[in-house]
């Protein structure tokens, strides 16, 4: 008996990293998973891997910055599985630079994916959840949204905005049976962070009370809890999964 038996979950940015770990875990817990990403080849292989391991998954490409692309993806997901119970807004990008060096295009790119993308996906999914009278929306924020980070004006602004939208939607959609929560990961070992210099990695470890980096599965399990009926009274929360780095 899985914790998500019978549920249909759309996970954006699911080709790799935290999104992939979440898709694999949700499938193991009984969900039918829509793996969605702009990276078609890697996304297809993630869905195939889930199916090989006995899970139920399809890949549907999407550009979260394009409302029409998002609406097509959601419609195809509903056509395939008949409903949407869970949306994990995981897709995200980085374009780090200090304020004085950051271009307008770099700012817009990160805001469009990390903030507008969350808006686009949620807006497309919510009518189906309202109609069925239930649903869970989970948004990827970040620990840096809570305390800022050098060289990340665009990223921090996007992730802080996600927290704001999460709280608004929790108020608006709660009466319709839809829970909305956010997860704020700390420093997680993914492809996105793999290129960091060793001295930066060591500095992060020293700042983290648990003296370690997180793994994608650490975030996936947080999403699993929030997506499950065990969290039925959790709404509008921001769950920090960061090894205590903001303590």
Q: Which residues are catalytic?
A: 155
* CB-based contact 18:219 (threshold 8 Å): yes
First-last CA distance in the chain: 36
* CB-based contact 236:180 (threshold 8 Å): yes
CA distances from 79 to 32, 33, 73 (A): 13, 13, 10
Question: For 44, how many CA atoms within 13 A lie in the half-sphere containing its CB?
Answer: 2
DSSP H helices in 53-188: 67-81, 104-111, 117-132, 144-147, 153-173
Closest among 82, 103, 186 to 143, alpha carbons compared: 186
Tokens of 142: 């970040």
Q: In what order do the strands lie in the sheet with 56-61?
A: 56-61, 32-37, 8-12, 86-89, 135-140, 178-185, 238-241
Tokens of 6: 């019978």
């Amino acid at each position: 008996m899985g914790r998500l038996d019978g549920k249909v979950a759309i996970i954006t940015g699911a080709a790799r990293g935290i999104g992939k770990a979440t898709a694999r875990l949700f499938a193991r817990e009984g969900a039918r998973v829509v793996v969605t990403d702009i990276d078609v080849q890697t996304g297809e292989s993630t869905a195939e891997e889930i199916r090989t391991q006995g899970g139920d998954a399809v890949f549907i490409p999407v550009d979260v910055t394009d409302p029409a692309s998002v609406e097509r993806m959601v419609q195809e997901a509903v056509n395939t599985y008949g409903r949407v119970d869970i949306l994990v807004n995981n897709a995200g990008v980085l374009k780090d630079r200090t304020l004085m060096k950051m271009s307008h295009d770099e700012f817009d790119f990160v805001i469009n994916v990390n903030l507008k993308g969350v808006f686009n996906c949620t807006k497309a999914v919510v009518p189906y959840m309202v109609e069925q009278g239930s649903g869970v929306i989970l948004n990827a924020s970040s620990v840096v949204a809570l305390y800022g980070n050098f060289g990340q004006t665009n990223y921090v602004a996007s992730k802080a905005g996600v927290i704001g939208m999460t709280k608004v939607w929790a108020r608006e959609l709660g009466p319709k049976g839809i829970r909305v929560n956010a997860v704020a990961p700390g420093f997680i070992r993914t492809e996105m962070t793999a290129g960091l210099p060793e001295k930066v990695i060591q500095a992060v470890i020293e700042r983290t009370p648990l003296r370690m980096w997180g793994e994608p599965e650490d975030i996936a399990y947080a999403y699993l809890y929030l997506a499950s009926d065990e969290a039925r009274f959790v709404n509008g929360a921001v769950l920090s999964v960061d090894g205590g780095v903001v303590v």
